[in-house]
Amino acid sequence: MPKKPCTALTLLFASVLAGLFILQFGTFIDHATPSLIDDHDILYPLGDKSTATLQEIWTDLKNTDEYQELATKGAATRFRPAFYVFKSIQTYLFGSNIRLWYIANFLLYLSTTTLIFSLVLRTFGIPSALLFAAFYLGHKSWADIFPRLGPVEIECIMVGTPLIWLLWRWIETGRTSALYLAIPTALLFGAMKEADSPLMIAIGGLLVACGFLSGMRRMVAAGAVLLVTGAIVFVVMLLITAGAASSGMVSPWGPLQSYWHHRRHDSLAWLVLIPIPVLAAVPYVRGFDQLKISRGELAALVLASVSVEILRLTLYYISHSMTYDGANDAIGMRYGYPLALMQALVAAIVFGRLAKAGDRTIAPRTGGIAIACCLAVLIINKGLFSPNVLKSRDWWLQFNTDTDNAVSEAARLLLEARKADKNPVLIASGPVLEWEPKLSLIMFLKRRMPDTVVYFDPGEKSVNPEYYGKLSVKWGGTPMSPELRASLSARGCVNVHVDDREYANPDCRVLNITTIANRPAP
C-alpha cells in the first residue's frame, strides 16, 4: 500500500482504538487503586513512601528472591532476569501512582497493536490488517491482562513487539541493521519469562521451515536468529534453575483433556481455523491459473496455519500446573496471550498472501472472506468490549475498591480508639498463611499505618509455616504471641480479613474483604 494512505489509515486506527480504550477503561483508570493480587511487587520497594530513590530501587533489585537464591545457592526457582529490571525501572518512574501505571500500560497496548497493524496494512492491505486487529483484540486472554498490572506478559509485549517489527523489516526489505538489532532484542525477550525461550525455539523452527519451503532465505535467517538465541537462553535457564525448580513435566493426558474441554466452548477457536479450508481449496484454484503461488509457499502457509493449533495445545501443557490442573481455561487467562498474537498474525499473512497471489477474481474474494471473519469476530467477540472483559474490569475495580475501603476503615477505627485512650490490636488474616492477597494485606495495612504494628497468626494453616512466616515478617507483619492472643478480648482489636467467605472473630471488630468469591472464571 502507498505510504500516505497507509499512514492516514494507521492514524485513524490508532485514534479509534484509543477512543475505545478510553470509553471502556477511562473510569476504571480514574478510580485505580493498588490490588492485593500482583501489586505488592510495586509497593514493596517504596515502603510507606510514594516514590523511591535510584539507590533504593537498586537495593531492592539486588535483593530480588531469585537473584539472592542464585547468589547464595547457585540456582534459582525462577528465570525472569530481564523482567525484574523492567519492573524496577517502571517502579522508579511511576512510584505508587497506580493511575500512571495503567495509563502507561494502555499506551503500550495502543502503540504495539498499532505498530503491528501498520506492518500488516503496508504489506498486505486493509482486509488483512482488519483481520489481524479482530483476531488479536477479540481474544479472551485480554480479560486477564487489561485490568491488571502484574502479568509478565505486559513486559513481554513491550519487548516482543519491537522484535516482530525488526524481523518483519528484515524479511520484507533485507535491511541487515534490523537483523543485527533483532539478536539482542531476542535475547532480552527470552530472559523475560521461562516460557519465552521455548516459544522462540518453536517459532524460529517454524520460520526456518516456512522460509525453506517458500524459498525465502531472509525468512530462514530470521528463524535462525530466534532458534539460536532461544536455545542460548534456554540452556542458561536450565543451568540456573537446575535443582531449584520443578521440571514442569506433567502427564500429557491432563493438558489434552483440558485442551479439548475448553476448546469445545471457544467459538473463536473454531473461527481461527478458517485459513485451513481456504488453503485446501487452493490446489483446485491453481489448476485454473487464477492463483500464482508455488507448492512450497502453499505448504508453508498450511504449516503456519496448523501451528496455531499446536501452540494452543502447547500452552495448555506448559500452564497446566498454574490453572489448577486444567480446571481454569489457560487460553482465557494471561497465558493465552501468545496464541492471540500468533493466530492474528498467521491469519493476516495467509489471507494477505493469497490476495496478493490471486487474479482479479480471487483477490477480492479472499479479501471478502477476511472481512467476513472480522464481522464474525465482532459477533462472538471475547476480547475488547466483550462481556468477558467488562465483567473482569468491574470485578477488579470492585475488589481493589473494597480493599482500599477496608484498609481506610481500619485506620479510622484505630484513630478513634486512640483518641479514647485505647490501644487495640491490628490483625491481618486470611484462609492460609501463604495466600498472596493475605500477605499483601499485611503490606497494605503497614503502608497506610507505618507506626502501627500489624499482627498475623503464625499458626494459620500453611504448607510451609516457617518460610511463609518469615515472608509475612518481611512484608511488614509481626507474629502474634499466645499472650497477645489471650489479651484480645480485654484490649480489643481490629481484624482485617481477606477470603472468599465471611470470617468471624468474637474478640475483634472484623472487616471482611470477600469480593474474591465473585471473581469471574476465565
321 pLDDT tier (thresholds 50, 70, 90): confident
Determine the length of the chain. 522
- What confidence score (pLDDT) does residue 241 get? 87
User: How do residues 198-225 score in pLDDT, each as one tens digit?
Assistant: 999 999 999 999 999 999 999 999 999 9
CA-based diameter of the chain, in Å?
Answer: 93
230 pLDDT tier (thresholds 50, 70, 90): very high
- How remote is the C-alpha of 124 from its chain's centroid? 28
Residue 41 and residue 56: Cα distance in Å, rounded? 14
Residue 416: CB partners within 8 Å, gap ≥ 6? none
Residue 72 and residue 62: Cα distance in Å, rounded? 12
Residue 260 and residue 257: Cα distance in Å, rounded? 5
Residue 436 and residue 516: Cα distance in Å, rounded? 12
pLDDT higher than 90, residue 108: yes
Please name which of 233, 313, 292, 248 lies closest in space to residue 77, comparing C-alpha atoms: 248
Residue 244 and residue 172: Cα distance in Å, rounded? 43
Q: Between the CA atoms of 272, 273, 275 and 280, what dihedral angle is there, to the nearest 10 degrees?
A: -170
Give, for 477, the enclosing helix (H) or strand (E). strand 477-479
User: How do residues 474-494 score in pLDDT, each as one tens digit?
Assistant: 999 999 999 999 999 888 899
Give the end-to-end CA distance of the chain in Å, rounded to a whole number: 39
Residue 456: CB partners within 8 Å, gap ≥ 6? 427, 428, 429, 433, 442, 472, 477, 478, 479, 480
Q: Are 211 and 222 in contact (CB under 8 A)?
A: yes
User: How do residues 41-88 score in pLDDT, each as one tens digit?
Assistant: 999 999 889 999 999 999 999 999 899 988 888 889 889 999 999 999
- Mean pLDDT (the chain) is 93
Over pLDDT 70: what percentage of the chain?
Answer: 97
Q: What's the predicted TM-score (pTM) here?
A: 0.94
User: How do residues 279-318 score in pLDDT, each as one tens digit?
Assistant: 988 877 655 567 788 889 999 999 999 999 999 999 999 9
Backbone angles phi, psi at 332, to 5 degrees: -85, -5
Residue 144 and residue 522: Cα distance in Å, rounded? 8
Question: What domains can be seen in the chain, in order of their start residue?
Answer: 3-385 (no CATH), 401-518 (3.40.50)
Residue 155 and residue 160: Cα distance in Å, rounded? 8
Cell 504448607 found at: 463
